[in-house]
Amino acid sequence: MKKGTILIALIMTCLSVCAQSRFNGGEGGGYTSAMLDNIVMSSNSSHKQDQLLSIYPNPAINNVFLSVISEWVLLDETGRTVSKGKGNHINLTVLKPGMYYIKSSNEVYPVCKLE
């Protein structure tokens, strides 16, 4: 499966979680569902598995952590730079709830900020 397809599926899942959180007033008690059909996992990429960046927790309320220390740029939904830094921690507390994107090592990773 292409990275773009996986990214789109992840973005759609994050959007669903963000929308459900807003619908419930951020109190939980709702549900989120995502349907993915015909997923085939294969890779012929030159990237090694340990070189991929993981971001957790996602969705997040206050902070996200990167699995490796790296330079990053945080973008909003329009692609505008919100903040920049280097390390394995990004503080989201001052941001409004919604979708953001972390750009690191020429890759872009979605992150959902909850209330």
pLDDT in tens, 77-91: 999 999 999 999 999
Domains of the chain, by residue range, sit at 3-113
Q: Which helix (H) or strand (E) holds 50?
A: none
pLDDT in tens, 19-63: 555 554 554 444 444 444 444 444 444 444 445 789 999 999 999
Instruction: Give the list of residues 6+ apart from residue 30 with CB closer than 8 angstroms, or none.
Output: 20, 21, 23, 24
DSSP 16-44: HHHHHHHHTTT-----------S------
pTM for this prediction: 0.60
Query: At the top level of CATH, which class does the domain 3-113 belong to?
Result: mainly beta
Instruction: Give the list of residues 6+ apart from residue 7 with CB closer than 8 angstroms, or none.
Output: 108, 110
